[in-house]
Amino acid sequence: MNRVMAANDPFTLFVLNPAGLNDPALAIAGCRTGAVGVFNAEVGVNPSELATALKRLATLHTPFGLKWGGSETPTALDADRLVRPAWLILDAERNIHLLPTVQAFRASGGRVLLELSFWRDAFTDLESQIDGWWVKGHEAGGAVGEESSFVLLQRLLERTLSPVYVRGGIGLHTAAACQIGGAAGVVLEHALLLLRESPVADALRPWLRGLDGTETVLLGHEETGRYVRVLERPNFTPVA
């Protein structure tokens, strides 16, 4: 099923708000530049904070997304079409049980993507319930698997005809490589933390200025294939 994106095929750029940050400023900035801003509600967001963030995104009158980590279907999908997310990203390990409950959202024009950091053949059976795959390579921060973004992209392109979007290690050149390689889009996240629109730029600048990517480490075990990528810097308190 290998394929190469044609020059006129749409290529979607997502701007993902950092997990645990309730200010959607980066997602809003993404929407204003023509990207799809995605509010990240994987962890640590209460209902009122989520509602406030989505209302701010809805005022832009442009498609935006919600990355969801809850165990129940987000109530935001029941909102009027003009103010609800256009994209919903679910986790392949935590949210598969929600797929039957979001089909009405799809039927009314919403798009559902499933994020994964490894491939299982059983995932093929889910294709009729989603609109694409959001692959998270081990270059990304947080919970990841063993394979890099580009390896995951190639693996899925061999197994699916659905669009594949790439998260992890994305920059100017890797985004172009993903597009040439057949990806339908890419995800920008931590590379944007020092932009002037970022609400955490001032606090993080002393730690992130000058990083080249070698300062992160993978914690985990090869027998399980589950890892967490974290930033390692002098004077940081050990996490493991």
Mean pLDDT of 151-173: 95
What tens digit of pLDDT does each residue of 25-66 get?
999 999 999 999 999 998 878 889 999 999 999 999 999 999
Query: Which residue would you say has higher pLDDT here, 215 or 145?
Result: 145
C-alpha pair distances (Å), 196 with each of 26, 82, 102, 108, 201: 9, 29, 36, 36, 7
What's residue 214's pLDDT? 67
Q: What is the mean pLDDT of residues 9-33?
A: 92
Domains of the chain by start residue, with CATH: 12-202 (3.20.20.70)
DSSP assignment of 208-238: HTT--STTEEEEEETTTTEEEEEE--TTPPP
- Position 139 confidence tier, pLDDT thresholds 50, 70, 90: confident
pTM: 0.88
CA distances from 4 to 92, 151, 181, 184 (A): 25, 15, 6, 10
Residue 191 has pLDDT above 90, yes or no: no
From CA 83, how far away is CA 216, in angstroms rounded?
38
Residues 114-123: tens digit of each pLDDT: 999 999 999 9
